[in-house]
Amino acid sequence: MDSTKPCLHFDIHKPTLGRHYDIQDSERNIKAYTAEISVFSVGKPDLTLIQGSSRNSGSMVAAAHFKKIGRTIRIGLGNTDDAPGQVRWEEMKAESAMKICHVWALTLTDGSRRTFAWKKTSNYRADGARGGIFSTSYKLVDMTGGGGNVVATWDQISG
């Protein structure tokens, strides 16, 4: 991972009655992505990530199927609507019943394969994130080569 690249900070909000998440680029103050939640749709992804403010004005970049039984999420990188044959599918697995660590591997554009893990933590927080009554934090760790480098953090703050 290139440590010289600047950090990006996104705020994720779910409207009270909405079936989507708004993902705001905090630096540029624009809606960068929308994550649409599918309800009762057989064969469709449970979650679709769209670059832009909506499916009408943006393009799909990823999708996820949450297995109803078990601890696996099937993640597709690419546009499942326009180019389903070009989507790269990977699986992210919860390593324990407590879901404190989720592991997945990804083939990069240079052909190398890297393994990442989302690990529950209280030591890493995104810049400016404050702990609330019910806060949860995860760090994304690059596990390739035993490096264990933290490449991202995610904080859920409520309360």
Backbone angles phi, psi at 100, to 5 degrees: -95, -5
pTM above 0.85, yes or no: no
pLDDT tens track for 74-127: 999 988 877 878 899 999 998 877 767 889 998 888 989 999 998 888 765 555
Backbone angles phi, psi at 85, to 5 degrees: -75, -15
Joined tokens for residue 111 = 């052909």
